[in-house]
Amino acid sequence: MARKTRISQGAVAAIILFITLVTRMGGNVFLPSLPKIASDFGIDKVQATFNINLYSIALALSFAFLGPLTDIVKKRTLLMYGSIACLISHLLCGLAVNIYMIDLGRLILAVGSGLIIITAQTWIGDRSGKDDLLGRLAWFSLLVALAPMLAPVLGGVVTDYFSWRWNFWLMTMLTLLVIFIIFLIKSRKEEHQQPEKVNLNPIILLKTYREIIRNTALFRISLVILTLFMLQGAFLAFSSFLFIDEMGITASKYGLLSVVFAGSMLVGRFPTMFLEKRYSIRQVMLFNIVLVVISIAGSLAYYQITGSHTVLEIVIFMTLMRLGFSGLAILGLRNCMFLDPARKGTISGLYSFLNHSSGWLGVILTQALYQSDLISISIYNITLIISLVLIAIGVYLFLGAYPRIKELLENREVQSMHEGPGI
């Protein structure tokens, strides 16, 4: 049997990040090959892109239903199971003879990816004190956000010079490497120890989540963040029609705007990391919320004054909004872990599920408004107004709950989390 060696905490952290990178790449690397897949299988665009919705839905549900596992089962075991699921997915897609095999493969990939991502988040939470958790989550979320953007670039090259199937063969090889690395790592726990049983009954989990929402301030401190995920989902749904159809820019220029928006989400983490070391969590939260409110109110005011929107104006205000949103997103994940330290995985899974669900709500809202024959500029204004109202409610709820959870959020005492370098 292969010898499993103990390695340093830093090396384990690097391995966790590498596993997360490969996992996140697997979700988006094949996107540029969708037209060729549709052509090869003789299907329309709706059928070819159905797996994207399927993947998103399954990913969110996996956060909710698999999160509790990370509180009980060994992290190394969960990473192995998740990686094996991803491997099966890539093999199934690479060997696909019809679109249904790809749909099934993407469904399996979502479950495996969700398990890996929530396990990695919980690993960081378990080994971080309040002083360093935000910084570690910021770098983790930076990688999580960056990988899906870079993956299609790689996927486009692979598709053009080889074939669409090689996207999945590439991910198969990378996932095999991940499995090999996980196999070599020695667990912090005794090898003979079996993971405890966990009840994944949906009814039991729903009761657990209801208890968390009732007995913690999770929803009250997260409503602003959930609102911004909703706005992001809506913006993604109508932005191409807004910029291309109604404002007349080209698709390539729209692609450049997407890079600007994504870049602002990455940059926005750094001011929050800086401020969190010098000010209270409440002050840093309010700072980011002020950025968001200024951006939303500024865009609405611009429209009221000029009677129209411009590309430059929207880009400026939405970039500012994303800077604040980025900081709030990592603060939200950090805060939820300290609301219920004994159930970091469970509450992180619930938090991730709520974020993804809020994004879908934004998409649904956009579709409903389009059904009402509204144009994209009108939908943009309406979503901004709704978001501003919900943010005001969210700030009220956050400030009302803060006195009761101040000690949980603000205590700078470094916890003893260094239980060993294993996973």
The architecture in CATH of the region 9-187 reads: Up-down Bundle (1.20)
Alpha carbon distance 63, 120 (integer Å): 12
pLDDT tens digits, residue range 343-365? 777 787 788 888 888 887 887 88
pLDDT average, residue stretch 219-230: 93
pLDDT digits (tens, 9 = 90+) for 65-109: 877 777 777 888 889 999 999 999 999 999 999 989 999 999 999
Which CATH fold would you assign to the domain 207-409?
Growth Hormone; Chain: A; (1.20.1250)
**CA-to-CA distance for 297 and 394, rounded, in angstroms?**
16
Could you tell me how many helices (H) and strands (E) the chain has, helices first? 15, 0
pLDDT digits 0-9 by tens, 376-392 = 899 999 999 999 999 99
Q: Which residues make beta-bridge pairs with 46?
A: none
Query: What is the residue extent of each domain of the chain?
Result: 9-187, 207-409
Write the pLDDT tens digit of every residue in 268-308: 888 888 888 888 999 999 999 999 999 999 999 999 999 99
Q: What is the dihedral of CA 213, 55, 144, 156, to 10 degrees?
A: -160
- What is the phi/psi pair of residue 195, to 5°? -65, 145
For residues 223 and 394, the answer to whether their CB atoms sit within 8 Å is yes
